[in-house]
Amino acid sequence: MFLFRRGTARLTPIQAHQRTTGGAVVLLDVREQAEWNTGHAPDAVHAPLSRLAAGTALPAAAEGRPLVVVCRSGHRSQQAAKLLTGRGIEAVDVKGGMNAWAAAGLPVVDARGSSGRIT
C-alpha cells in the first residue's frame, strides 16, 4: 500500500507536517550533523545524504516505513528521495526544505531540544 500517490514529487512543509504527525510516516532529515544540531523538526530522524549515497542503511526508526525527506532548501532531499525510491523505498521530499518549514511557523528544535534555528 502506498501512502503517497505515485508520481507525487514534493510536499509543502504543511503537508509534510500533517503526513508525519502520528508516526506512520517518517520525516527523514538528510542534512549534515552540524546542520541537524542547530535545528531540526522535533520528530525527525537523521540520516545524512552523504551516508545514504555511500550505501549506509536507514536508521532503524525509518526502516520499512514511508518517508518524507527534508534538507535545508530542498535540493539534497530531492536527490535523497530519488535515491531511496530507486531502492524501492516509498519517499517524497519537502519543497523548500527546513527553510520553508521554519518560515511556515512549524517547530524547530536544536540537539538539546531547545528552540533551534536553520543554518
Give me 88's grid cell. Answer: 524501492
The residues assigned a catalytic role are 71
DSSP, collapsed to helix, strand or coil, labels residue 74 as coil
Q: How many residues can be counted in the chain?
A: 119
DSSP state of 7: T
Rounded to whole angstroms, the Cα distance separating 2 from 90 reads 7
